[in-house]
Homo-oligomer: A and B are copies of this chain.
Amino acid sequence: MAKERKDLIKIGELANMAGIQVVTIRYYEKEGLLAKPQRSPNGYRTYRRADVERLRFVRHCREHGMAIEDIKTLLKLREAPDRDCMEVNTLVDDHIKKLEEQLASLQALKSRLVELRGKCPHSGAISNCGIISGLDGYHCRAWEDKEGQNQTN
C-alpha cells in the first residue's frame, strides 16, 4: 500500500493552512459547516486538500461578517455549480443591506455621542456634566400622567 502522496493532514496543519484555530475547526464541524472527517487509527481527524479550500472559503465569508447559517447556504450552492447563481446574489444583496443598516445606526449613534461629548469639554463636577444629564431620562412624563390618573380615580 504505497501512499503516492501525502494527501492527509491533521487538524493542526489544516488550521495553519486555512488560518483558523484548531478549536474553531472542531466547532465548525459540530455546527455542520464541515463534514465529519475520517479518523486515523489513533482517533485523530484527517483532512484532505478539498477541506483546506472549503475552510478558506468559510474564513473569507466570516471575514465578510456573514453568519454561519448563510455560509452553509453558500457552501451548498458552491457545490451545485450548475444551478443559477441568483440565489447567491440575493444572499449577498441581503447581507449588504444588513451592513448598510448597521452602518447607518452606528453612524447615528456616534453623532449623538459626539454631540453629547461636546456638552462637557471642561473638567468639572459631575453634577454639571452635560453628558450625564444628556443620558438622563429627560423629564418623567409617564409618571406625571400616572399620578394625574390617580387623582381622577
Contact = CB atoms under 8 A, between A and B. Distances in A.
A143 B57 contact: no
Contact of A137 (B5, B60, B116, B150): B60
B123 A86 contact: yes
A102 to B, nearest CB: 6
Interface string A43-62: 00000010011011101110
A68 to B, nearest CB: 14
A150 to B, nearest CB: 5
B112 A64 contact: yes
**Mostly helix, strand, loop or mixed at chain A's interface?**
helix
Interface in A94-117: 95-96, 99-100, 102-103, 106-107, 109-110, 112-114, 116-117
Given A49-B143, A89-B117, A109-B65, A126 B82 contact: yes
B137 A56 contact: yes
B142 A85 contact: no
13 contacts: A6-B150, A17-B146, A49-B140, A56-B138, A57-B137, A64-B109, A84-B125, A84-B126, A85-B131, A86-B123, A89-B120, A92-B131, A99-B110
